[in-house]
């Protein structure tokens, strides 16, 4: 059995990695998400019930679920759409309310996760990076400090043209102990794809995670994003993403997967109308034997990765063919 531990939040990593590796024979999956989400439905539930944020881990749960189709549909059901939260987010997802309600009633996020794993028939394990209630903070190049994953993710009160120079948790937090043990015993660690600061780096900030990554013998694989993002990675090349990941993970990466396909201006313009925070296709500016460049994009439509193409490269690495 090959143990693969995956770091990331948002929707990219669950869709492109977890769902694609779930049914590979001989692979045991463990996913880890930061607990810094504070926007929309998640943010409202955090404030009202004083619980940990369910927004990211619910996506991991769904990606690894082998439950009946009706449960998966229920998991994604969004209601109370007439309620508008900060940033224009509307309504609650059933999964957010279910997880938050369980923690509130049972008094324990761990106990809530046991119920959720059973209810959704999770194939693998979905873990929080920490069980402590934290906020993500960032310092900009002009010295300004911003607080909250939601503001870092979508600049509203600060100038998104300013680079982030460092991020940290307030207050400082300890890693969830099972995560540390899973890192030490992993065969592969996959990081990303996802937003560099609000989805990926924040996973490494709880005390103990960086140290465990440095100690593990696991091969570390980073999947660079398809596009740069306003406020987090303006003007980044592949090597810039790698520098940030290595600085916060505290170790060198063994493999870096990135896209080599160019996109015509019309397609790029149409996609940016749909996703205005995304800027340009990520390019590589250096030669490095660890870097694996491939055609990873969908053939048409969104400027996004094709899950089957990502899966193919990951299996090449994991099976020793790359």
Domains and CATH numbers, the chain: 1-34+180-322 (3.40.50.10680), 36-128 (no CATH)
Conformation bin of residue 134: beta by default, left when phi > 0, alpha when psi is -120 to 50: beta
CA distance 6 to 220: 10
pLDDT per residue over 34-88, tens digit each? 999 887 778 888 888 999 999 899 999 999 999 999 999 999 998 876 766 665 5
pLDDT per residue as tens digits for the range 296-321 = 999 999 999 999 999 999 999 998 85
Mean pLDDT, residues 147-175: 96
85: left (phi over 0), alpha (psi -120 to 50) or beta: beta
Distances in Å between the alpha carbon of 133 and those of 112, 198, 206, 270, 275? Answer: 16, 16, 11, 39, 30
Give the pair of three-digit tokens for residue 44: 């409202």
pLDDT (tens digit per residue) in 89-147: 567 889 999 999 999 999 999 999 999 999 999 999 999 999 999 999 999 999 999 99
| Helix, strand or coil, per DSSP, at residue 132 | coil
Res 268 pLDDT > 80: yes
Pairing of strands 164-170, 145-147: unpaired
- Cα 188 to Cα 195: distance, rounded to the nearest angstrom: 21
Alpha helical stretches, state H, 168-237: 177-185, 209-215
């Amino acid at each position: 059995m090959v143990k693969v531990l995956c770091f990331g939040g948002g929707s990219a990593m669950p869709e492109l990695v977890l769902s694609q590796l779930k049914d590979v024979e001989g692979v045991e999956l463990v996913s880890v998400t930061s607990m810094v989400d504070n926007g929309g439905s998640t943010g409202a539930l955090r404030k009202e019930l004083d619980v940990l944020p369910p927004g990211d881990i619910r996506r991991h749960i769904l990606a690894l679920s082998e439950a009946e189709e009706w449960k998966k549909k229920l998991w994604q059901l969004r209601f109370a759409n007439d309620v508008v939260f900060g940033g224009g987010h509307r309504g609650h997802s059933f999964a957010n309310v279910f997880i938050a309600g369980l923690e509130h009633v049972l008094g324990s996020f761990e106990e809530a996760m046991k119920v959720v794993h059973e209810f959704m028939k999770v194939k693998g394990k979905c873990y929080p990076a920490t069980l402590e209630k934290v906020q993500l903070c960032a310092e900009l190049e002009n010295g300004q400090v911003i607080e909250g994953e939601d503001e870092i993710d979508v600049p509203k009160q600060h100038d998104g043209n300013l680079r982030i120079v460092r991020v940290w948790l307030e207050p400082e937090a300890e890693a969830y102990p099972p995560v540390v043990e899973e890192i030490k015993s992993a065969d592969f660690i996959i990081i990303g794809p996802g937003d560099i600061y609000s989805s990926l780096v924040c996973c490494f900030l709880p005390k103990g995670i960086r140290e465990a990554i440095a100690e593990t013998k696991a091969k570390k694989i980073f999947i660079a994003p398809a596009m740069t993002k306003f406020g987090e990675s303006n003007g980044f090349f592949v090597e810039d993403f790698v520098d940030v990941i290595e600085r916060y993970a505290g170790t060198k990466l063994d493999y870096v997967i990135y896209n080599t396909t160019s996109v015509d201006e019309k397609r790029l313009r149409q996609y940016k109308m749909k996703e205005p925070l995304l800027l340009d296709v990520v390019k590589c500016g250096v030669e490095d034997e660890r870097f694996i460049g491939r055609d990873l994009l969908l053939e048409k439509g969104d400027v996004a990765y094709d899950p089957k193409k990502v899966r193919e490269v990951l299996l090449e690495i994991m099976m020793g063919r790359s």
